[in-house]
Amino acid sequence: MLITDDFLPVPVPESLSATYLVPMAGLPRVSPKTAVQALEGRLAGPVYGLAKQMLDSPLMTVDTRSIDEFPELPPDLLTAFGATEAQLGRLAAASHLVVVQAEYRPGWPPAHEWAARAVAAAIAESVDGDVVDVFGLQFLDPAAALRSLPDEQGRVRLVDWVLVPYSSDAEGLWFTTKGLRRFGLLELQTQGVPDHLTRAWGAVMTGAARRLLRDWTDGLAGEEVPAFVQLPVLATVTGHDIAVAYGNPEQHGATAPVLLRLELDPATDPDADSFLSLRPPPGYPGPDRKYYAAACATLFSGIQPDVRYARPGDAMSKAIATARAGLDDIRARFLAGQLPRESQLVVKYGLPGDEGPEFVWAGVTSWEAAERIVGASASDANSDPTVRIGSPIVVETADVVDWALLDGTGVIEGGWTQAVLDAGEAPA
């Protein structure tokens, strides 16, 4: 095995397994095969075929057990991962559990997960019940479980399979992923993240998970399962990685890459999990938390906010008028998918402040209604503590003062107010 300073050898498990539960009052109404047949035409062909094949093979088992035979599922953890009172109530009222288990070798596709989730969703749908993902300790309604499965091109949203929980201590926030072990990879962690980067760093972790999972599955592509996969010590994360992980590849991807150093953090307790830690790259002179903030700024903001106020008739006022005149056209191009490949549309809007409005930028994710834009904040606002990098926002189109298209080189179209600021023509 080749070991270098550029790569980190990560052990590969011999096999992987998935377990899903379907709580129900009474016994199943139909057989698993009949339930799965009802999904024909609703699931992508490859996944539907995979579910049927696995169901007919010794790689999958489907058992109905009395709920008393199964260890109690912890309600507090289920609640922490999104369980509703109605779901917990149905679990408490259940007399039986249908247990769907599948096993498969590490690699892509993760047949054990896709097939087991599809079969469990089919059974749950037949009784108007719920699916419990045992690995994630998550309730899934059957429709959500089916939506999380691959499309005809084999694409999935990673956020449907990998969660990013966090906790707080005196050093800041501790983020971990929960879901990469489904694919045989160690979970990621980052410690000491500034509190105001809660949503932004969660998105960065998701993007990093997507990039590393791709490297991981590439290393497992051979006929034989290797004992180790060599992962790059310096992981590159881009806005495109984040966008793809969230299922919106067309909405982002124009940012500069961010480097994160990968370190193996082995568990000292044999019952605990080892982690891959994400840290600043070697040689970074400042504290880790400062690098995390800078990384978020790189990935989520193409243009910095400003707190300048434009007087009527000056260059800034003309820039705003020019930008607003082009809003209808840029919206039409956005909706029609006619923006340049790997570009990101951002808009600038005003937030009220004590010394005049603060203008901040947001990446556009949806613009269905002409009068309202849905997006994610591209920066932290000084005047509103709820507006943070990556936080979801809704902007009234009437409040927009500028827009711009960004790619990896910066502004490629629009950004008239920014041009005024850069030229030093705006009033202080």
**pLDDT tens track for 2-37:** 344 689 999 999 999 999 999 999 999 899 999 999
pLDDT at 253: 47
How many whole angstroms separate alpha carbon 110 and alpha carbon 143? 20
Calculate mean pLDDT across residues 358-382: 84
Across the chain, mean pLDDT equals 86
Q: Which residues are CB-neighbours of 149 under 8 A, at least 6 positions away?
A: 43, 44, 47, 114, 117, 118, 156
Under DSSP, the state recorded for 310 is: P
pLDDT of residue 120: 98
CB of 161 closer than 8 Å to CB of 113: yes
Residue 310 pLDDT grade (very low, low, confident, very high; cuts 50, 70, 90): very low
DSSP symbols for 63-116: EEEEGGGSPPP-HHHHHHTT--HHHHHHHHH-SEEEEEEEEE-SSSS-HHHHHH
Please report the pLDDT score of residue 257 as a whole number: 81
> Residue 213: pLDDT band by 50, 70, 90 thresholds?
very high
Asked if 405 and 344 count as a contact pair (C-beta separation under 8 A), the reply is yes
The helix (run of H) or strand (run of E) holding residue 126 is helix 111-126
pLDDT for the residue numbered 4: 46
Among residues 113, 132, 146, 119, the alpha carbon closest in space to that of 67 is found at 132
What pLDDT score does 386 carry?
76
Q: Which of 59-63, 103-107, 146-150, 337-341 has the lowest mean pLDDT?
A: 337-341
Instruction: Quick: pLDDT tens for 222-267.
Output: 889 999 999 999 998 888 888 888 876 655 445 678 899 999 998 8
Q: How far is CA 227 from CA 2, 10, 100, 183, 363, in A?
A: 12, 8, 28, 15, 42
pLDDT of residue 380: 72
Residue 249 carries which DSSP code? Answer: G
pTM given for the model: 0.70
Question: Which one is predicted more confidently, 72 or 311?
Answer: 72
DSSP 8-state code for residue 275: E
Residues 428, 25: Cα–Cα separation, whole Å: 68
